Structure 1
Amino acid sequence: MKPETLALMSEQKTFMNIRLTYRLELLAQRAIAENDEIFLRETGCRIRELRVLRLIDDMPGTTFAKIAKETGLEKSLTSRIIQNLIAKDLVSRENSDADARIFRLSTTQKGKDVRSQARIISDELDQILHSPLNKIEMEQLDNLLEKLGEWVASDTYRTRLSEF
């Protein structure tokens, strides 16, 4: 029997598809959806807003274009998120001295405080997510994800895909 058929037959399975990319995406989507409401309640920001806030805080004076590239989000969504962060006084923007069409983004003190608060919440939520795994399993998972991450970023992986 095909593995896909076995997966569909088992009603106790969490995932109805055995493909790794599907399972990783679904797992992330489920965890993010649950956590998003907690972050909103505790910080006033959703996870995507906090990700953008973190990037801006890590790169003071960064531009919209850099943030859009780093997040991989659609430009219109990135723009709305940045506008929301500015409206909440978490991010400030000022015109570039070199080009008035470009805005430089930085976190405000309030933004830094929200980022710190979000970090504490994130650490606690990660502990809950990891709780079914013991220390050895968690180390194995980290190592396997790192290995797969390196593989997917490699030239060899891209070459293999281009040969498909």
Structure 2
Amino acid sequence: MIKSAGISVSLLTMCLLVGDVHAAQAYRVVKSCKPADLSVHFDNGQGEFDGMSHSGAWVVLSNHSATRCAVPALPVVRLEDTQAHVLATGKPAQPAPNQQPDQTILKPHAQWRASMYWVSGNVYDGGQCVSPNRVVLKFPLGDVHVNFPARTLCGPAQTPLTFEQGQLQPVPR
């Protein structure tokens, strides 16, 4: 009985120590990225999104600060005209149920990307087409505004235009 109690106390002590390590790691919170930490550009994927009446691009996000920071795994993306009127908004693509993290940790100088895919031809009866000038990515600590390459998005008339938006993923090397 004494030996068993000694093992139990040792096991309990070990569990408490391991628990403390995990608890300490849990307190290491990665702060949200500041807009000034981020740079954004677009990549057409060498035409991988282009098809009959469809187009798209990768929105590529880089952390150019010296420390890690966090952004939403699926940032809110809006396309606007020069007067800041919203012309189209991102609609999340359907990820697998087990692949829905809340945030993405961006290491310094690492690049992550999210797909944007839209209808580019006026294929709708009485449809509408727009040519946005800029993109606004909404983040917890502020928005990032960047010019949008000359592209046309189309959709049904009298409804807000949307495009399919994927979650952030590492840029392959």
Same fold (TM over 0.5): no
More helix by share: 1
Higher relative contact order (CA 8 A, sep 6+): 2
Larger strand fraction of residues = 2
| Band the TM-score falls in, shorter-chain normalisation | under 0.3
